[in-house]
Amino acid sequence: ETGVTQSPTHLIKTRGQQVTLRCSSQSGHNTVSWYQQALGQGPQFIFQYYREEENGRGNFPPRFSGLQFPNYSSELNVNALELDDSALYLCASSLGQFGSAKTSEQYFGPGTRLTVT
Amino acid sequence: AQSVTQLGSHVSVSEGALVLLRCNYSSSVPPYLFWYVQYPNQGLQLLLKYTSAATLVKGINGFEAEFKKSETSFHLTKPSAHMSDAAEYFCAVSEITGRRALTFGSGTRLQVQP
């Protein structure tokens, strides 16, 4: 069974630029969630995708956007990067229909470390 | 809104000693609860979960946690610490409907002294 993978591992960008992060879900998992983990803090929910549609988002502005593809992989896009966007971005996958209990059981990838200078 | 409080940002124990990491949650109804472990420069690994079945939950690596509704707590324990347990531990609560997003505590860094 293949776990959640993310690319790239590390990324350095300049303020104002745009970035795309990628995630492949665990085999058979149809739901992908994205989290931002700032240094020294717990992860914060950005948004979740199920059947290629966003299910809702946390307290993040519209410049954070995403996609989910038919194979359940996903992208996180961030426009107009700010210094505070520097963080570890975690992707998590889960199995289940929207709203089912199984969606709670989320398995995380290793993350992408984004540094904005 | 749900929230999670982890008491103690740093906990230090001796190898072989009891590990106790505290987690209290706030929710209008009993939620689903999780403990994750994060090793340096890695993602989160699921240790154990409470999903309204048995209140004492056993996880990987010898860890267990007990759900206490009256105390709104879900503390993580391990009878005997091992050097390899040194890591950051996060307690998380799940929404009970809809997207089931996880809300995390701020984490507890566990140090294990030889």
Q: In this complex, which of A42, A56, A108 lies closest to B106 when CB atoms are compared?
A: A42
pLDDT at A75: 98
C-alpha to C-alpha distances, A33 to A53, B20, B71, nearest whole angstrom: 12, 29, 30
Cβ-defined contact of B34 to A110 (cutoff 8 Å): no
Q: How many CA atoms lie within 13 A of A103 on its CB side?
A: 23
pLDDT confidence bin for B42, thresholds 50/70/90: confident
Higher model confidence: residue A101 or residue B93? B93
C-alpha to C-alpha distances, A77 to A45, A61, A68, nearest whole angstrom: 15, 12, 12
Q: Dihedral (C-alpha) A57, A60, A65, A69: value to the nearest 10 degrees?
A: -30
**Could you report the per-residue pLDDT of B1-12, keeping only the tens digit for each?**
789 999 999 999
Average pLDDT for residues B22-36, to the nearest whole number? 88
Chain B touched by A3 (CB under 8 Å): no
Q: What is the CA radius of gyration of chain A?
A: 13
pLDDT confidence bin for B53, thresholds 50/70/90: confident
Question: In this structure, are residues A87 and A34 in contact, taking their beta carbons and an 8 Å threshold?
Answer: no
Question: In this structure, are residues B95 and B2 in contact, taking their beta carbons and an 8 Å threshold?
Answer: yes
pLDDT at A61: 96
Which of B90, B99, B109 is best to mutate for the A interface (most A CBs within 10 A)?
B99
Q: In this complex, which of B43, B49, B107 lies closest to A109 when CB atoms are compared?
A: B43
Which stretches of chain A drop beneath a pLDDT of 70?
1, 97-103
pLDDT at residue B76 greater than cutoff 90: yes
pLDDT at A98: 62
> pLDDT averaged over chain B?
92
Average pLDDT for residues B48-56, to the nearest whole number? 86
pLDDT at A1: 60
pLDDT at residue B59 greater than cutoff 90: yes
Average pLDDT for residues B34-60, to the nearest whole number? 90
pLDDT at A102: 66
Average pLDDT for residues B98-106, to the nearest whole number? 86
